[in-house]
């Protein structure tokens, strides 16, 4: 996000590069930079004659270069945006000659999603000299909740950690999808208010009581009644609560717990640095360690691996309800 802010900040200051090559596995940041350039460099009147959007599957590299070499009409600049440029991957190096001597009055934006540019070749080297090369990387799942907090802070909202984790659990790591849901929330919740799980349940429809976050908590506390109630809800709403997500979250937690048991130093600082967890998560790991000795954790990890395979249809076919029931039996 810092790199995105830097690029946007430079454009706002008038430090506009002739080429922006936006690549990487996370389309969200590529789209945000491209949309900002599309809306901010030219005035509304100038865009009609001086802003062109091309699609990689419909054009060639020669078409891109031809558009980029044109002069603007009654404006200081023209903007040429190439979306889905990954379709030009076989010929993308053909842009190298243009990148060596880009048209000063053109802002060329290349959106090269889910692909990597060969950094050993000329195109990358010329973009580094004359333009901006941005590589959009996927956020690790444990970083997404912090990203949600930052996005909402910019919009003028706060959010509790539990609410942020609830969004990640339900929506996954698709930042574009999360951003759309955050926009919905911001339309429903008064500005300046801290968003809670209750607000998410009311406005998005994610249950604050019946979710993987609460199931993990029940497992940690060895609260079988609560866990069974949640699992029953999951069985009745399988589309909203896929087994693969449940098993993945619990497996990750018990692997983490296995790592905790293997530490000689169980101080909070060492747990944070060794396991890479947030400080506020240490108490729940410590509680789980009391409730699940190391040998038991090893057994549970083995059971979860077996259930993961069954959940993917290997071996005897089982319904989600059966898998969830067996999950509880194996853990408790």
Print pLDDT tens along the chain (332 aa).
789 999 999 999 999 999 999 999 999 999 999 999 999 999 999 999 999 999 999 999 999 999 999 999 999 999 999 999 999 999 999 999 999 999 999 999 999 998 889 999 999 999 999 999 999 998 888 889 999 999 999 999 999 998 998 898 888 888 998 999 999 889 888 888 899 998 888 888 788 888 888 999 999 999 999 999 999 999 988 888 889 889 999 999 999 999 999 999 999 999 999 998 888 889 999 999 999 999 999 999 999 999 999 888 776 668 888 899 999 999 99
The 3-state DSSP class for residue 136 equals strand
d(CA 184, CA 202): 11
* Helix residue ranges per DSSP H, 156-174: 161-171
The CB-side HSE value for 249 (13 A sphere, CA atoms) comes to: 22
β-strands 194-195, 158-159: how paired? parallel
User: End-to-end alpha-carbon separation of the chain, Å?
Assistant: 42
């Amino acid at each position: 996000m810092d790199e995105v802010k830097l690029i946007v900040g430079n454009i706002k200051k008038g430090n506009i590069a002739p080429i922006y090559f936006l690549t990487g596995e996370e389309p969200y940041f590529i789209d945000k930079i491209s949309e900002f350039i599309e809306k901010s460099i030219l005035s509304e009147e100038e865009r009609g004659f001086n802003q062109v959007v091309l699609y990689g599957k419909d054009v060639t590299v020669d078409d891109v270069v031809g558009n980029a070499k044109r002069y603007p009409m009654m404006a200081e600049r023209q903007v040429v945006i190439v979306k889905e440029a990954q379709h030009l991957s076989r010929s993308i190096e053909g842009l190298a000659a243009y990148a060596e001597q880009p048209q000063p009055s053109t802002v060329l934006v290349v959106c090269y999603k889910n692909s990597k540019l060969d950094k050993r070749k000329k195109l990358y080297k010329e973009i580094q000299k004359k333009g901006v090369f941005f590589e959009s990387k996927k956020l690790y799942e444990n970083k997404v909740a912090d990203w949600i907090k930052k996005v909402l802070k910019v919009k003028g909202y706060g959010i509790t950690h539990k609410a942020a984790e609830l969004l990640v659990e339900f929506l996954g790591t698709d930042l574009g999808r999360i951003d759309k849901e955050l926009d919905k929330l911001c339309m429903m919740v008064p500005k300046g208010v801290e968003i809670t799980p209750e607000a998410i349940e009311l406005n998005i429809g994610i249950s604050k009581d019946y979710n993987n976050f609460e199931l993990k908590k029940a497992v940690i506390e060895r609260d079988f009644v609560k866990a069974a109630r949640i699992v029953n809800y999951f069985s009745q709403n399988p589309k909203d609560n896929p087994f693969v997500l449940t098993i993945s979250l619990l497996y990750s937690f018990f692997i983490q717990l296995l790592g905790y048991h293997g530490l000689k130093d169980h101080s909070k600082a060492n747990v944070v640095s060794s396991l890479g967890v947030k400080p506020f998560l240490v108490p729940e790991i410590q509680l789980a360690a009391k409730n699940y000795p190391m040998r038991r954790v090893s057994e549970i990890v083995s059971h979860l691996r077996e259930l993961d395979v069954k959940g993917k249809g290997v071996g005897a076919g089982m319904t989600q309800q059966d898998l969830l029931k067996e999950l509880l039996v194996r853990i408790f």
